Amino acid sequence: MAEPFGIGLLGCGTVGSGVAKLLLEQPGRLAARAGRPLVLRRVVVRDPRKPRDVALPPGVLTTDLGEVLGDPAIQCVAELVGGTTWARQAVLQALAAGKHVVTANKALLAEHGAEVFATARRHGRAVAFEASVGGGIPIIAALSQGLAANQITSLQGILNGTCNFILTGMTENGSAYADVLAEAQRRGYAEADPTLDVNGTDTAQKLAILAHIAFGVDVLPSAIECRGIADMQQADLRFAQELGYTVKLLAEAWLRDGQLALHVSPVLVRRLTPLAQVRGAYNAIHVVGDAVGDTLYYGRGAGQMPTASAVVADLIDMAIGRAQRSFQTSRLWAGQEAGITLLPAHSVRSRFYLRLLVVDQPGVMAEVTRVLAQHHISIASVVQHESLDEHEGDTVPLVIMTHTTLTGHFRAAVAGVDRLPCVMAPSVYYPVAD
């Protein structure tokens, strides 16, 4: 068998310990797939006294990155630390020291991909990042290899396991948001700072990475309009169900006439569609290509072993030399491809769900619909439950589903509706997928 492929692991938390387990417990399987043994030579952590989820061989654990960088038998570094400070420096140093890099760090790639990839090219090294999007789903390989003959025309994904776990728990069990989030953290799905999950940042980072691969656009997460689920209310989940929909946090991209629309938002998805059936920490991505048509990718989007599965797949590709060949020919993060511009959010066409809290008195419906009509918003349906309380002046929720309209028109209408004296709280609205 060929010479061993030496690996240095940075981080031994949820994902790192899963990778170490696979490397240590399945040496025969991995060597057969890679054509050479994969050898875990060093594991760098912050606190060497912390109990680990894996039994590491003596002498492997260290707090000194230099032991990885200076080891000529380590050809590849797997960065499983997260964040954009220590991890960024470590990755840049590893590339400069002649190591290939495998990473699960979407924040690093989405924010600093250009620097990381340019450094890799300068030093003749490769970067692989299958685990950075979709956990165990091989979506990067699907887009960059399996669908390489296509122009991708749209992409819709549930890309954050924590948010999908929370929405599933709130919808199906009526669980409290904070309780399900705590359970997602306990299971190792959430980021070290879970705000990044629930405010949509993690999903926007993943969408930015997919947009590079699928559309060749150079977009930072901050340029993607993004709403998370942190303020999601049970009332909206219940109204969505009543109307035949399920609420999902979606990353969406559509390419039309050279213009690319990108956004992250909770979206009402028809209950019988495949994306609506994705429960718990699972992810799914619906990709449409001009030659292949509709394709769908589904699997566990977060957690220790699904993510480790993707990291180790990249390590095998590196050991074979396949990842290096792909990296050389790909132009990822090498500048915007000509011909595609970003469509501003206000120009995106969509249907909308709108919930108002209004005073229960004569004329309210007429006032609301008048404002909507002024902004060219056509109503598809209205829900107002019969009030058993006969006290005039009480408040009631009023839910309106619109026909397709421009987002800019819709938002102007909502601002107008919210100024009406009969509307008692800021309105809640979400796009509706069809």
Residues belonging to the active site: 206
Task: Tell whether residue 221 is a contact of ligand NAP (CB under 6 A).
Answer: no
As given in the structure block, the two tokens for residue 145 are: 């290899």
Strand 152-158 versus strand 245-256 pairing type: antiparallel
Site string for ligand NAP, 297-336 (x = CB under 6 A): -----xx---x-----------------------------
Give the nearest distance from C-beta 61 to ligand HSE in angstroms. 24
Given a contact cutoff of 8 angstroms between Cβ atoms, the answer to whether 16 and 307 are in contact is no
Q: Residue 245 and residue 67: Cα distance in Å, rounded?
A: 53
Task: Tell whether residue 197 is a contact of ligand HSE (CB under 6 A).
Answer: yes
Site string for ligand NAP, 103-142 (x = CB under 6 A): -xxx------------------------x---x-------
The conformation of residue 250, written as its DSSP 8-state character, comes to E
Task: Tell whether residue 190 is a contact of ligand HSE (CB under 6 A).
Answer: yes
Give the nearest distance from C-beta 192 to ligand NAP in angstroms. 5
Give the nearest distance from C-beta 331 to ligand NAP in angstroms. 24
Residue 15 interaction partner, one of ligand HSE, ligand NAP, none, beta carbon < 5-8 Å per kind:
ligand NAP
Task: Tell whether residue 81 is a contact of ligand NAP (CB under 6 A).
Answer: yes
Task: Tell whether residue 370 is a contact of ligand NAP (CB under 6 A).
Answer: no
Residue 313 burial by Cβ neighbours in a 10 Å radius (0-12, 13-18, 19+):
buried
Task: Tell whether residue 288 is a contact of ligand NAP (CB under 6 A).
Answer: no
Q: Residue 428 and residue 434: Cα distance in Å, rounded?
A: 20
Give the nearest distance from C-beta 159 to ligand HSE in angstroms. 7
Which residue's CB is nearer to ligand HSE, number 111 or number 197?
197
Task: Tell whether residue 82 is a contact of ligand NAP (CB under 6 A).
Answer: yes
Which residue's CB is nearer to ligand NAP, number 281 or number 398?
281
Give the nearest distance from C-beta 301 to ligand HSE in angstroms. 5
Task: Tell whether residue 425 is a contact of ligand NAP (CB under 6 A).
Answer: no
Strand extents, DSSP E, 110-181: 127-128, 152-158
> Residue 389: CB partners within 8 Å, gap ≥ 6?
none
CB atoms within 10 A of CB 238: 13
Interface with ligand HSE: number of residues (CB under 6 A)? 11
- Among positions 5, 7, 8, 12, the unique one binding ligand NAP when judged by CB under 6 A: 12
Give the nearest distance from C-beta 93 to ligand NAP in angstroms. 12
Give the nearest distance from C-beta 189 to ligand NAP in angstroms. 5
Given a contact cutoff of 8 angstroms between Cβ atoms, the answer to whether 354 and 416 are in contact is no
Task: Tell whether residue 301 is a contact of ligand HSE (CB under 6 A).
Answer: yes
Give the nearest distance from C-beta 65 to ligand NAP in angstroms. 7
- Residue (of 105, 106, 80) closest to 205 by Cα position: 106
Cα 157 to Cα 136, 280, 305, 349: the distances in Å are 14, 14, 21, 18
Q: Residue 282 and residue 368: Cα distance in Å, rounded?
A: 39
Task: Tell whether residue 302 is a contact of ligand HSE (CB under 6 A).
Answer: yes
- Among positions 79, 111, 202, 236, the unique one binding ligand HSE when judged by CB under 6 A: 202
Which residue's CB is nearer to ligand NAP, number 104 or number 167?
104
Given a contact cutoff of 8 angstroms between Cβ atoms, the answer to whether 319 and 36 are in contact is yes
CB atoms within 10 A of CB 71: 15
Which residue's CB is nearer to ligand NAP, number 165 or number 215?
165
Given a contact cutoff of 8 angstroms between Cβ atoms, the answer to whether 102 and 78 are in contact is yes
Site string for ligand HSE, 142-161 (x = CB under 6 A): ------------------xx
Given a contact cutoff of 8 angstroms between Cβ atoms, the answer to whether 156 and 286 are in contact is yes
- Residue (of 370, 374, 382, 368) closest to 421 by Cα position: 368
Given a contact cutoff of 8 angstroms between Cβ atoms, the answer to whether 8 and 68 are in contact is yes
Strand extents, DSSP E, 64-208: 74-79, 100-103, 127-128, 152-158
Task: Tell whether residue 60 is a contact of ligand NAP (CB under 6 A).
Answer: no
Helix (H, G, I), strand (E, B) or coil at 164: helix
Task: Tell whether residue 136 is a contact of ligand HSE (CB under 6 A).
Answer: no
Taking CB atoms, the residue at the shortest distance from ligand NAP is 13
- Residue (of 146, 100, 149, 147) closest to 123 by Cα position: 100
Q: E strand or H helix at 102, and its extent?
A: strand 100-103
The conformation of residue 423, written as its DSSP 8-state character, comes to B
- Among positions 26, 36, 86, 380, the unique one binding ligand NAP when judged by CB under 6 A: 86
- Chain residues binding ligand NAP by CB under 6 A are 11-16, 44-47, 50, 80-82, 86, 104-106, 131, 135, 188-189, 191-192, 302-303, 307
- Chain residues binding ligand HSE by CB under 6 A are 135, 160-162, 189-191, 197, 202, 301-302
